[in-house]
Amino acid sequence: MNPFVYLARWLLPAAFLLGGCGDGERQAAYQPEFGQQPASASARKEYRFAVHPLHNPERLFAAYGPIVDRLNAGIPEARFSLEASRNYEEFDKKLYSRQFDLALPNPYQTVNALRHGYHVFGKMGDDEKFRGILLVRRDSPIREVADLKGKVVSFPAQTALAATMLPQHFLQEQGLPLNAYKARYVGSQESSIMNVYLGDAVAAATWPPPWIAFQHDHPEQAAQLMLKWSTATLPNNGLVARDDFPPALLDKVAAILFSLHESDAGRAMLARLPLSRFEPANAATYQQVRAFVAHFSQTVRALPEQP
């Protein structure tokens, strides 16, 4: 066939099709549609998984985002979103008003959550790390607990169990009651550490994971600080589910979380926390926490009333 005839047979129909519609029609024909999520995911129910303010929101998403991604990959019939809170007060308000489907609260928040329709199904491992620590500058004149008398000591929040309540109880046991020093609640673990680094406090209370993270992220500043005192331990942070969370779905969530330490990829996720594993737990696991909170309320200070 003559090549010019062949070309004409191809071009003429194409020209007719293009010429037969106006500009608006052509744009409509080729206009893509965008949604909030893929069409295949539209039927999946979304569940909110919240972590209490272990870190600032940016670092919290970097640490826990891959774990939530793992839940989404392993449970395609549901969708999980990670939620961070600006401070302990915001997290407490949302938790106690049942806004979260799943949550990782500290042990004090865990036992309180039981009164708001949540139940414990697991916890973070490594209970030996759930302790309070007190940091001072290396050039600090502070030598003994008594040297803190009348001075400013920074704490993350009144309801931070490891980083506030355990250190305050430790100081009380060492002969320094709460009214003997100036407790400053600064909102986050990082802020507490920075207060002593900048000299706004003579000591800073926190707990090991934020201190480890600070040493990694800010080695020069961390080198100017030292761990001065360490407290006793309690069971680590809990995993709770709201009472209307589907039991079969919770079994799948638990299976994924409790097996992370069994693979290289899972161990890499846990190392970001840092943590060796998640493990099963129930309300009875936190009986020791209940006893400590009761003792703390009687001997150190009254805790804020819970809704």
Report pLDDT for 155. Answer: 98
Range(s) within the chain of domains with CATH label 3.40.190.10 = 44-128+236-299, 131-233
| pLDDT per position as a tens digit, 123-154 | 999 999 999 999 999 999 999 999 999 999 99
10-residue block means of pLDDT along the chain (307 residues)? 39 37 36 39 84 86 96 98 92 96 97 97 97 98 98 95 98 97 94 97 96 94 98 98 98 98 98 95 98 96 79
- Write the CATH number of the domain with boundaries 44-128+236-299: 3.40.190.10
What fold characterizes domain 131-233?
Answer: D-Maltodextrin-Binding Protein; domain 2 (3.40.190)
| pLDDT per position as a tens digit, 147-177 | 999 999 999 999 999 999 999 999 999 999 9
**What would the DSSP string read from start to end of 130-147?**
-EEEEEEETT----SGGG
Would you call 136 exposed, middle or buried from its count of C-beta atoms within 10 A (0-12, 13-18, 19+)? buried
Report pLDDT for 92. Answer: 94
Q: What is the pTM of this model?
A: 0.82
Q: Share the mean pLDDT of the chain.
A: 88
SS3 of 263-289: the string is CHHHHHHHHCCCCCCEEECCHHHHHHH
